[in-house]
Amino acid sequence: MVLGLLKTSKTIEEVEDVAIRYMKVLWSRGFLEDFRDIYFHWEFKVHDLATSMAKDESAFTNFGSQNVDGKFQHFSHAAKKYGDESIVGSFIGKDISKFKYLQLLHLCDILFEVLPDSIGTLRHLRLKKLPNNMRKMICLRHLEITTQEEVLPENGIGCLSSLQYLCFFACSNLVSLCEGMHGLKSLRMLHLRNTSVRSLPDTIKYLTKLEILLISYSSKINLKMDLQAEDRGLRLSLKTFIIYYLESLVDLPQLLLQTFANTLKTMQIGYCKNLEALPEWFQYLTSLETLDITNCSRLLSLPQGMERLTSLKLLKIENCPPLVESCRNDESKIAHIP
């Protein structure tokens, strides 16, 4: 995508959808090995073809050992070898502004905490780490963030109208997302992993293109979001809802799940030790095809009305002894599942 090689054939088709098709073709023809699709990213081994195609535009360099032409559009570095803050910081602060055409900047396992203002001059930059004045990055489509902030600024991420994928990772201080998320009109996936976020903002209901919501290792989050009268007309696009290791979870978000009742296909709930019951409104998720429940030891039974979930094709229950026993004692709730 960053190379600009993908072209959409339809006006409503996103370049990410084209990328998925291309990836499947490359996989089927043997260009990709050990391919794994795990909802929010792919894992695979690739041959040298991609590197050879982009040799005039891309660079992988070790700091201090190679001069890189400023015409390059994609840049990565040997992260684990050069984790010294003085070396990396000097390069980022003094040299990065020379890359006027940079579209992809990949920096990981780096010790310094603040990116210099010079990164803000890279007008073509599309991915990864961004400066504070990020609301101007209106072409940004993929963003992963680790931050020490407690609350996100209102006029930052919420202004990224082209953003497709947003991930907050290892944000142990982050207790609140910005309320102005309704500006993320193109967002298709939201991933919270290892954060201190306590609740989701109400404006998440306006993310009309959101397809995947994944929340994990966020022990303080409370997902109770009741459906209000004014919300009953909302019809959104969520297809996959995954939650793991949410120690404080006792409720599922009715506002999100029932609003997405006509599109929700997959739900995975795992290691939520304080979840004792699924809500009665669960029966309205009539498009649900897969329900996976793992290590929820306090979950005692499935809710009434399960027989209304006529699209349910797969029910997996693992390491939930009371729930398994309940299903065995009352098979009428799951008799329709093939």
Q: What is the mean pLDDT of residues 58-85?
A: 50
Q: What is the mean pLDDT of residues 111-123?
A: 62
pLDDT tens-place string over residues 268-320: 999 999 999 999 999 999 999 999 999 999 999 999 999 999 999 999 999 99
Q: How far is CA 326 from CA 76, 78, 300, 331, 334, in A?
A: 53, 53, 7, 8, 11
**Cα angle vertex 86, ends 82, 106, to 5°?**
45
Higher pLDDT pick, 328 / 60: 328
pLDDT exceeds 50 at position 267: yes
Q: What is the mean pLDDT of residues 79-88?
A: 51
Query: 41 CB contacts (<8 Å, ≥6 apart)?
Result: none
Among candidate residues 186, 92, 126, 139, the one with its CA nearest the CA of residue 3 = 126
pLDDT score for 88: 58
Distance, CA of 39 to CA of 271 (rounded, Å): 19
Q: What is the mean pLDDT of residues 193-198?
A: 94
pLDDT exceeds 90 at position 175: yes
pLDDT score for 130: 44
